[in-house]
Amino acid sequence: MRRTAILLQATIFCAFAFFACFGGSPASAGDVITFKVGHDSADTVPVAIGLAEFKRLVEERTGGGIVIEVYNNGTLGSASDYVVNCQLGTLDMGTVNQSVVSSFIPDLPAVDIPYIIESYEHADKVFMGEVGKYYSQEVRDIVGIEVVGIWEVGFRNLTNSKRPVNNLKDVAGLRIRTMDNQVHQTFWKGLGADPVPMSWNEAYTAMQQGAIDGQENPFSVILGNKVAEVNNNLAVTEHVYSSQFVIMSDKAWKSLNDEQRKIIVDSCYEAGLLERKEQRRQASEAVARLEEQGMSVTYPDKQEFIDASAKICAEYRRQYEKVVKMIEDGK
């Protein structure tokens, strides 16, 4: 009887140990984890192509243990929704423009100062280097979500349906859709335009109906979202470089073990290299394709824009002095 009791206790202990090690831990062996990723633009833009590669890499490297479901075209809401929902744990992952993240991070608007990022090479050193690490930590500390990578959207350019922009005077009075970003809005107001903050989901219809005259975005976004159908003028201003933060909820992050986290981060980095390459390829081909679609392309003197916004930029440079120095050290 006593021997039977001892054997029963031993059996119970072993069973408990088994379930403690395997049944109750994050990312248990044999479990399939599914992550939904939200993206608010078309499936042809570089970020969407990068997400497709990220999906492939993660699923391949985990043997299907982690499944990535990509939702493009804003089907899971706007980019601002992605940040909040990742905070709440109701969305696993999202890709969010730096300007949206800046609503949550006090000194992130430093990277939106017009003309502070001077080239793709400079951008890589900034966002793939110390500045990227700095902001990733700030997002963890302030927002409580993970940044698993920072990708590229590119240099922003102006489109409108009213007139060609050959110089600064042509900007005056244009109603331009911007993101909800104070630096962007102050910049355009300073140039005499009327900035109208709204989500990208609303922007196309607003341009189509004439509620706004135009918008500003990188070439790949202008091309991928068929802006030429509603705007026939493109001015190559390259006024702001935009990055894209790939974010993950704390809940999703904590559901993974160390090996799976490494796969997520490494795959995001590698997919980001492809995404950057694709963005730059699309940007190099975009002007010719947009002209084929009926757009008139102009090249106003950027120095005129730089000079006109110098006072505004100087104020922001003083406000974000620490990060500005980091950005300039990356040249």
Instruction: Express each pLDDT in 243-299 by its tens digit.
Output: 999 999 999 999 999 999 999 999 999 999 999 999 999 999 999 999 999 999 999
- Amino acid occupying residue 166: N
Does the residue 294 lie in any domain? yes
State the residue range of the domain holding 251.
32-329
At residue 10 the predicted structure's pLDDT band, cuts being 50, 70 and 90, is very low
Mean pLDDT computed over 220-238: 95
Does the residue 207 lie in any domain? yes
Q: Which two tokens stand for residue 177?
A: 């859709």
Does the residue 14 lie in any domain? no
Does the residue 19 lie in any domain? no
Instruction: Express each pLDDT in 190-225 by its tens digit.
Output: 999 999 999 888 999 999 999 999 999 999 889 989
Instruction: Express each pLDDT in 83-139 by its tens digit.
Output: 999 999 999 999 999 989 999 999 999 999 999 999 999 999 999 999 999 999 999
Q: Which two tokens stand for residue 199?
A: 């989500």
Does the residue 17 lie in any domain? no
- Given a cut of 60, whether residue 21 has pLDDT beyond it is no
Q: For residues 258 and 82, give the distance between their C-alpha atoms in angstroms, rounded to a whole number.
A: 24
Q: Which two tokens stand for residue 66?
A: 């982690």
Does the residue 12 lie in any domain? no
Mean pLDDT computed over 233-241: 97
CATH number for 135: 3.40.190.170
Does the residue 185 lie in any domain? yes
Does the residue 230 lie in any domain? yes
SS (H, E, C) the chain: CHHHHHHHHHHHHHHHHHHHHHHCCCCCCCCCEEEEEECCCCCCCHHHHHHHHHHHHHHHHCCCCEEEEEECCCCCCCHHHHHHHHHHCCCCEEEEEHHHHCCCCCCHHHHHCCCCCCCHHHHHHHHCCHHHHHHHHHHHHHCCCEEEEEEEEEEEEEEECCCCCCCHHHHCCCEEEECCCHHHHHHHHHCCCEEEECCHHHHHHHHHCCCCCEEEEEHHHHHHCCHHHCCCEEECCCCCEEEEEEEECHHHHHCCCHHHHHHHHHHHHHHHHHHHHHHHHHHHHHHHHHHHCCCEEECCCHHHHHHHCHHHHHHHHHHCHHHHHHHHHCC
- pTM of the prediction? 0.85
Counting the structural domains of the chain, the total is 1
- The confidence score (pLDDT) of residue 22 equals 36
